[in-house]
Amino acid sequence: MQDKPVFLIITPYGPETGSGNWRTAERYARLLQAQGVAAEIAVGLPSTPQIAAAAGALVLHARRSGAAARALQHAQKPYGVVLTGTDLYADLAGLTTPLFFQQAIETITQARMAVGLQGDACSRLSSIAQRENILDIPPCRVLLQSAVGDVRQLQRRPRPDRSRDLRILMVGHIRKEKDPLTGFQASLSLPEGTTLRHLGGSLDDALMQTLQALAVQHPQRFALLGQCDADTVRVEMAKADLLVHPSLMEGGALVIAEAFGQGLPVLASRIAGHLGILGDDYPAYFSQGDTLDLSRRLLAFAEDDRVAASWHDALAQRAPQLCNPMREAQDLAGIVHDILS
């Protein structure tokens, strides 16, 4: 017999996808269990017995978890909703369909709490509510994602060795929102010997074929390693000089914290989801989708010690906040408490 009521973490995607939503659900369950919460993951629509046994839930992705949210509401179970990048910057921004907008809003307005994964999320939700004259938006709280890292060691990692070629890493599923093609094309302008290794499965066959064609044309420069486990990601980060994260939209990129935990500097697209994690004054941004700007920034990092030093300094300054799983666990437990109160 269960000693404690179960708290559900509901994700639209299962472990076979390796998706960010699944990884977040898995982390949240682990962090809550360490805090003494009986957390359980449900994929898609939980069963009727699962919902009946639950004290409450946290649903990931307002639109895609809409059916689960409606089932929780019908059973009078309180829930919070974690806002994803496609929630904030696609469905709620009016870039998809009116139906998708309505589905996302319905999940949010019936929730006890909205949870943003970076600093722009809650202000963006508030702006959308004001624009659409939606009065019943719940309280919103920011929960920065965290990775393990020994922040005392970060400044000891050497900057790129100018005697060898630059090693670039990209991590993320192959889909248009992640914009991997900009990273591949930008790196072609760098000196011969530069390598770019990409980790992540494909969710876009046409885009995958384009990247595969580039890898065939430039076998010494590009490597598509496919979906990898967390240990492989850490090994690849340890070998790389720089993580490039060219996304067009992000709810909260955990890979940035993971890179910082490995002492790996990050060059990111200047989008709201990255600004909400790294801040306006972070020195290593490039204009989203701008191949030429990304090329220039990569070349500056490769050739200018002052640029490389400033990016490593920015990493060291931000890593203590992003490499603190205990802080995230405590904040998450507080969110669960408030959902259930």
pLDDT digits (tens, 9 = 90+) for 146-155: 998 877 666 5
- Across the beta sheet with 113-116, what order do the strands follow? 39-43, 6-11, 54-60, 79-82, 113-116, 140-142
Evaluate if residue 311 carries a pLDDT over 90: yes
**Residue 202 forms beta bridges with which residues?**
174
**Mind listing the pLDDT tens digit for each residue in 97-137?**
999 999 999 999 999 999 999 999 999 999 999 999 998 99
Structure tokens at 108: 């949010």
pLDDT-derived band at 15 (thresholds 50, 70, 90) equals confident
Q: Does the structure show a pLDDT above 60 at 158?
A: no
Copy the structure tokens of residue 167: 């090693």
- 6-146+324-340 folds as Rossmann fold (3.40.50)
pLDDT one-digit tens code per residue, 242-301: 999 999 999 999 999 999 999 999 999 999 999 999 999 999 999 999 999 999 999 999
Question: Hey, what's the torsion of the CAs at 80, 83, 86, 92, to 10 degrees?
Answer: 80
Residue 188: pLDDT band (50, 70, 90) is: very high
- Among residues 171, 162, 179, 145, the alpha carbon closest in space to that of 269 is found at 179
Asked if pLDDT for residue 3 goes beyond 80, the answer is: no
Domain 151-322: CATH superfamily is Glycogen Phosphorylase B; (3.40.50.2000)
Q: Residue 156: is its pLDDT beyond 70?
A: no
Averaged pLDDT for residues 18-42: 92
Rounded CA separation 279/277 (Å): 6
Asked whether the predicted pLDDT for residue 319 surpasses 90, the reply is yes
* pTM of the model as a whole: 0.92
In this prediction, residue 1 carries a pLDDT of: 39
Burial class (CB in 10 A: 0-12, 13-18, 19+), 320: middle
Which amino acid makes up residue 283? P
Bridge partners, 22 (sequence order): none
Share of the chain above pLDDT 70, in %: 95
Give the residue among 128, 93, 100, 94 at the shortest CA–CA distance from 114: 128
Following DSSP, what letter does each residue of 69-112 receive, concatenated?
HHHHHHTT--EEEE--HHIIIIITTTSS-HHHHHHHHHHHHTSS
Whole-angstrom distance, CA of residue 108 vs CA of residue 62: 6
Question: Given CA atoms 32, 33, 39, 40 in this order, what sign does their dihedral have?
Answer: positive
Q: What is the pLDDT of residue 160?
A: 57
Q: Which of 214, 220, 168 is nearest to 192 (CA)?
A: 220
Q: Where are the alpha helices (DSSP H) in the chain?
A: 20-34, 48-53, 66-74, 85-86, 98-109, 120-132, 180-187, 205-217, 230-239, 254-261, 272-278, 291-303, 305-322, 325-340
Parts of the chain belonging to CATH 3.40.50.2000:
6-146+324-340, 151-322
Chain centroid offset of residue 290 CA: 21
Q: In what order do the strands lie in the sheet with 195-199?
A: 222-226, 195-199, 167-171, 242-245, 266-269, 285-286
